[in-house]
Amino acid sequence: MTASREEIETFLAAMISEDFPPRYNIAPTQPILTIVAGETPPVGSNRPDRVGTLVRWGFVPSWVKDPNDWPMMFNIRSETAAEKNSFRAALNHRRALVPASGFYEWRREGKNKAQAYWVRPRNGGVVAFGALIETWSSADGSQIDTGGILTTSANALLRPIHERMPVVVQPEDFARWLNCKRYLPREVADIMRPVQEDFFEAIPVSDKVNKVSNAMPDLQMRVEETTEAQITPQKRKGKTEPEDGSGGQLSMF
């Protein structure tokens, strides 16, 4: 996330309590900024009713006894979230938005070295991913706020790289997505669909992004692709999506 606090507040009509430095390589278990519905402001107030909060990237259900025994769910399949005990309550009551400048994805062809891509909005700016958050409480009373990003089937542009992509929530859907008191999961299911093909662009970048300690702006600079084929939109083939909860991608953004 490289946008300023002011840019995020404007895009999401939210109140964020502090500034954050640009981050070019965010990995699971690190804190990420989420936007949630806040209290309704008094009549006549200009205060936003959405607020920013930090959570640990990696969803942990509240009923888990030991997070160390729980698989790292940094991604959550949107198609089955309502059916899973792990995510059902959060989908009903704790939907959130994760602002981002883009995300990294990897394409691997056979045993060849994977090519990393920086996937960002074609028109620049901030994008909002659909997310679920949950507070885990330990036996001693300490708490950890956790979250995971919802994924859906990849659109035609990104399918050659990976069969999954994050759920993109458009500005006109922010209010409906965050209003868990009024809108049930089935009433926001249409939001959890692949974004239009021309929304993102995929830029080949250096494999330096594979190392979390590398966190400089040059990670997002274009490089020559290491694979033979160029990224071009593909028509959908048969079902190839994994059946696990995470989808296995979007490991940094």
pLDDT per residue over 85-105, tens digit each?
Answer: 999 999 999 999 999 999 999
Instruction: Report the pLDDT value the prediction gives residue 244, as an integer from 0 to 100.
Output: 41
Q: Which of 136-145, 177-186, 198-207, 212-221 shows the lowest mean pLDDT across its residues?
A: 136-145
Strands of 123-175 (E only): list them.
127-137, 143-153, 164-166
| Predicted structure pTM score | 0.88
Whole-angstrom Cα distance, residue 95 to residue 40? 17
Query: Is a pLDDT exceeding 50 seen at residue 236?
Result: no
Contact between 88 and 180 (Cβ < 8 Å): no
Q: What is the mean pLDDT of the chain?
A: 89
DSSP 57-79: ESB--TT-S-GGGS--BSEEETT
CATH architecture of the domain with residue range 5-220: Alpha-Beta Complex (3.90)
Higher pLDDT, 44 or 169: 169
Nearest to 10 by CA among 99, 94, 103: 99
Q: Give mean pLDDT, residues 14-22.
A: 91
Nearest to 130 by CA among 56, 66, 185, 86: 185
Nearest to 181 by CA among 92, 82, 96, 98: 92
